[in-house]
Copies of this chain bind each other. A is one copy, B any other.
Amino acid sequence: MPTTSTENAGTAGGREQAYRLDDQVGFLLRRAYQRASANLVEKIGGHDLTPPQFATLARLYERGKVSQNLLGRLVTMEPANIRDVVQRLRKRGLVSTTRDPTDTRLIVVSLTARGRALTRALLPVEMACTSKTLAPLDENERKVLYDLLRRLAAG
């Protein structure tokens, strides 16, 4: 039978697709994320905020109070992980938590005044950081990149 996928064709006449680690998307994505993350930490690290922590604050800033579980989904973190992040932010007085009265299971997370002020102050900083990370690309290339990454993330 003919090859049905993009796999190599074994001993068939097709040219072998040689393996190279530098040609694997996962490896490239990891390296690119390392760079972007380093840029953010450099600019925002003075406030002891990691990229996931800032993403959590930014999401709360956009959405207002949401349940801890939904918040996790909004920043693609597992329940166990968003729990830890919320806990750290709460210890620093940047977010506060209450129980939803109509659904006792839910922990509702919201920004404190301090958290909102800090987040608002740092939004332009992260935008500048994004610009710095994207510096090697021109305007059109950035648009293309965003489109491709969004489609990859969506699966």
Contact = CB atoms under 8 A, between A and B. Distances in A.
Interface of A: 5-8, 17, 19-21, 23-37, 39-40, 51-52, 55, 58-59, 62, 75-76, 123-124, 126-131, 133-134, 136-137, 141, 144-146, 148-155
B76 A25 contact: no
A19 B153 contact: no
Contacts of A124: 7-8, 19
Contact of A130 (B8, B24, B62, B134): B24
Given A25-B36, A146-B23, A136 B123 contact: no
Contacts of A51: 26-27, 30
Contacts of A130: 23-26
Given A19-B126, A134-B25, A155 B58 contact: no
A25 B150 CA distance: 10
